[in-house]
Structure 1
Amino acid sequence: MTNSLYCKALNNTKCVDGVLLSMWQPAIGISHTDKVIRAMVYFLYMCYLFLGVSIIADRFMAAIEIITSQERKFKIKKKNGETNIVYVKIWNETVSNLTLMALGSSAPEILLSIIEIIGKNFEAGELGPGTIVGSAAFNLFVIIGICVMVIPDNETRKTKHLSVFIVTTIWSLFAYIWLYLILAFISPGVVEVWEAVLTFLFFPLTVISAYLADTKIFFKQFFGTKVLGGFTKTDNSKNMPNLEDIPFLEQKDTNLKNQTELLAEECGSSSESFTLDQFRIEYMHLIKDLRKINSNLNLDDLEAMAEIELFKRRPKSRAYYRLKAMQYLTGTSDPIRKLRSISMINETEIKYIDNLKVQEVTFFPDHYTVFENNKKVILTLKRVGEGISTTVIDVDYYTEDGTAKDGSDYVSKIGTIRFEKGQLSQEIIIDIIDDDIYEEDEYFYVKLKSPRTVKTFEENETALQIKLGSFSSAIVMILDDDYPGNFHFEKPKMKISENVGHIQIKVIRSSGARGQVKIPIKTIAETAINTIHYRMTTDELIFENNQIENHIDVYIYDENEYSKSILFSLELGEPTSEQISIQSDSGRPKLGNISKLEIEVTENPDLKKIIDNLIEKGKIEKVITTSTWREQFHEALTIQKSNESDEMPSCTQYIFHYLSLFWKILFAFVPPADILNGWLCFFVSVFIIGVLTAIIGDVASAFGCHVGLTDSVTAITFVALGTSLPDTFASKCAAINDDTADASIGNVMGSNAVNVFLGIGIAWTLASIYHAVSGKKFLVDSGSLGFSVTLFTILALVAVSIMLLRRIKQIGGELGGPKPFKYITGVFFCFMWLIYLIFSSLEIYCHIKGF
């Protein structure tokens, strides 16, 4: 190592003003003790800024979750002609993970690189690129190493979307190989415009190739397969996915499999509808299981329990685990706890009670049936309300013709009814005219008017209001009893839900009620089958003399289906009577106009409502985002209990709550994520992260200056560690709780590639264009950065090879596995990170020769 190189390394620790912050003066000529004190202050300040960035990044991730969860309305037509409206997510999961989600988790590193370039007048800096490479090393070696070790013994987690993982891994490794090529081989020490622009253009190429791998379009092109909902199927498979590939079908239920096949056939090639119906089937079976275990639960409690259980089972996004890790640490509301209380935060409804006392007069009941040979009908009036014991009231009544006429069918009447003090009911008697003429059933009305107070026995009753109640009019039906009558159903069609259990279908006898009559009942199976979908208890009805209605008992079997429409019919046979001598056609019992009833059995509306609510409420974004400023300030000021079991918050949570209180209150002013579908919160959060990142860059440089570290070493150690810690907690949480390794390590490789293509690509594009316009070249020292990139790439190849080898049968997946294997892997990954730090630092200080 030459003296000039050594001096060059030392000169990099020169204390200079930052982009936003000036250096603590005086910066030179101070004692060793002052340097230590200043270094401690800068270090604590940097840590506090990292905490602030993590909290605002939570707001950022919440906005991204809202944005990527947006849906579009979509109409599909099933084979039976029925049109359904379903809602489909606009963002593909892979695309959102590599774009907005990656930006959300890597925003500090990306923005630091861009801000450093702009702040240094478009000259190359060490802090931004060093942080990106150092963060990539920490993500790949430390985060994955921890995720391997935290899995319970003898359990494994395997990457489900292996094709996407391989594609993003290739791009991640290529990103750093590409950096080496442009720094040390294509144009050593110079970044040309085309190199910088191409670096940025690799980002959309990464997204497109990952999307193609996710949707299996290559399989369709080369192997003649079709794609439905992300599953690969052959042309002759009736568009059915392999049931074992569906995430939630853990147990092979034959009934569920049959429903799945029917749904797929109904929906044809509509992947969106098929996916939605799959979720509905899962929900129905879960509710059915919960009912077996908790048979006494009401519908509200059942829905709440199912909601929590489904939320636990549902695959979580990267944003969810990132937010959950920080929320638990800082004492913010736990998602499950928030889910339990989400329906209780509505504004309290305030009811105002009128001081005016009210008393009502009403018919009870309001419908009367009488045979004409009864000669009269008695109608009952009730009064309810205030002041009954202290007032006397009057109400007028009168009759009004319907199909029954005054003088031929009944005797009209007009009068006044008085309620004495304390009297609750009164009666009105109307005379009915009996004749021997055959008539249809007829009706007339009795109506009330002019209720009023006659006398009050207390002075304060002057404010009493007397009015008519809900039933101010009653209808009286007069039935002819001279003939056997006509027999019929009330209506030709009936719709019932499958959960009704036992129903009584009314058969009515009109235009007569004389004698005993027998009626045979015939069932007609259409799409519903007797003893499978329903059960009849009788095949004959008997009407006794003067009996005007009877019932057919039918039992309906509840199959817990979300969408159901099956039909069967009941038909009345010819009525017969042995007691009546038939002398004329009018004297014979007959069928009425409605002798056939078509019954449609549909799904349980309560169950359907619960499932629809679960589909809406079970969305992850509902419990990790806020919708009002009031809710944000409440969460900022409140420390929640540590978990679902109502334990008090831990000591660590109290400490971090009060440490982060300033940031939480400050960032509560950020617009809630629900506004403008998350975009307003997105841009405001990006601006704040950018400001804080610029300050972090200045503080990190000042810290390195006082402890004698170059910007490169500070970047790959302290800054990379500070920006990556939140993702460490998130990946650990995802590794433990998810059934796959996608959320914990699958996004690491994608994020590493995105960091280079966006963070370095955008920064170097701006700088190279600026210098090209000025007629200069954009110079980048290829020594330390080139060596760091090369070392990382070699170690990354080793790490990726180990992860793929761990998929062998003896281990079973990238994460976990037998105890010896998982700890050996985890420790070795962490050891590779130490190798990277040590050798990179030695090269920076010229103790070993780089490029």
Structure 2
Amino acid sequence: RVVSELKQKLPDCPDDETAIAASVLMRGCAHSRAYYRVQATHKLAGGYPVAEGSRAADPIKRLLAKGVVGQPTSRIGGANVATVQFRTAAFTVREDDKWAEAIVERSGNLDTALSVKYNTVSGTATEGADFVAAKGVLRFSPWQKMDTVRVWLIDDTEPEPDETFSIELHEPKGAVLGAAKRCVVTIKDDDAPGVLSFERSQMSVKESEGKAELIVKRVGGAKGKVTCDYATREIGGAVATYDFLPAEGTLEIADGVTEMRMSIDLVDDSAYEKDEAFQVVLSNCSGASFAHTADGYPDSCIATVTIISDDERRTAADKLSVLLDMNVDNVKLGVGSWAEQFALVVEFPVFEDGWLSWIMSTAMHVLSMPWMLLVACVPPTRFQHGWVCFFFCLCLIGSITAIIGDMANHVGCCLGMPASVTAITFVALGTSLPDTFASMQAAKAEPYADNAIGNITGSNAVNVFLGLGMPWMIAAIFWSFVADAGNEAEWRARYSGEDWYTPSTPIGFAVPSADLGFSVLVFCFCACTCLGTLVLRRVTLGFELGGPAEPKTASAVFFVALWGVYLTASILAELGYLPAAIVNVV
């Protein structure tokens, strides 16, 4: 989606540069926790980091792998150094802008200070007549990424063609010059009256919007007052008074103004009509002329406005045809997305970070392929506004979770492990590792710790409050309102051996805790200790995650130790190695 929007806004930009720009935008914006879960899961499966709405997971890496672009590094004697160059090799200013500002950027090594000299060079623009000569030294402090060269412009009152001069960088110290070491500045003359044209000579507007907004542009100069007549005109489609209100008058553009807006009122009726058009005509221009690209040049400038009917009152046949057209398009798009999903499954990682990394990524991709093929069967979100995908995913997740839980219980049974121990080890690892890697991705990519920590706390909240609460609520409703005499006999036979059971105990939903209370107590203690440590890091270090090597490593070891304490205490209690006085404290 980002790539397509950039292509619409920058139609002349090459595809590879558009992809790189999209990747940079994606990296720079804030992401949801779901985004980092997808990134972590895809990385574990040996795939590319997934860019939003695009098969091209990481355009920069793809381009590097295909040799379309090279590694942007500068080396002197084998060491990375800074590169200084202009942000753009050319730009345009108006004669009355007073200043021409050229931005000089620094990339590569940011650790050291550097300097670079600059000076202006005359072209068709003359030093002293069109601009004031400038020369000097730009000094970059460590970690300073850009600076600005300012050149004073001289505004005269004589009409003249566009003129150019250049700014050149030379004699860098502590850096090397990049490709854009020369910047050409074009001075556009503002002493000419300019020419008029509509910003869009063809436009469409919905009938329900009530008005058509047109913009008259004045380009090539803005000197003096300009006037012209305007009037609406029928062209055999839209009818004045019934489809739009006729308008005529004189448009006045003051000295220095380069844009004027005008609006034509539309008539919104309740009848279903086909698309209709009318024209707005500018004529009798005084003080300037019309652009040679304008429709109607040289005597007039014409804009054609098409009124699109969007009335809700349509016949049954119209509704049916429109509905079928939309469904056909969605099915076509859905099929395309489905094929794309399966194409991603068989797309193996590109060799880019060495043999070991490529072998590991390929191995994980192959191991994950059966699961990815299964998930690729999920219907694309284009069907029924995503509801088919949503319910299909719910069923798929539930089925996979049931299979994984059953497999984990079988593994525990084969190893002679109690079900409760299997639950807090194999099952817990299988369901929580994706959250761990998603939090790691968020911690690396986000400037704050909110997503990394919120991902973990939010996941546990869903597991506890929704994962336990919903099935327990359903079971409680069943035993309270639905259970019959047969269910009661089964219930009493099942719980008759419990210490709390008596023949007079009313039936209801029951979950004997065994050693659950002790395990939950240990978990709450470890969780509170963990959150307290994060608060302490905020108070003492100023941040929750990362930082210098010593506190970062110590925190990581401490958190892993808390997990070990929880596992050890819970397993010892389950196996009966802890005194009953400690286990039965709750």
- Normalised by the size of structure 2, how large is the TM-score? 0.48
Higher relative contact order (CA 8 A, sep 6+): 1
Judging by fraction of residues, say which structure has more helix: 1
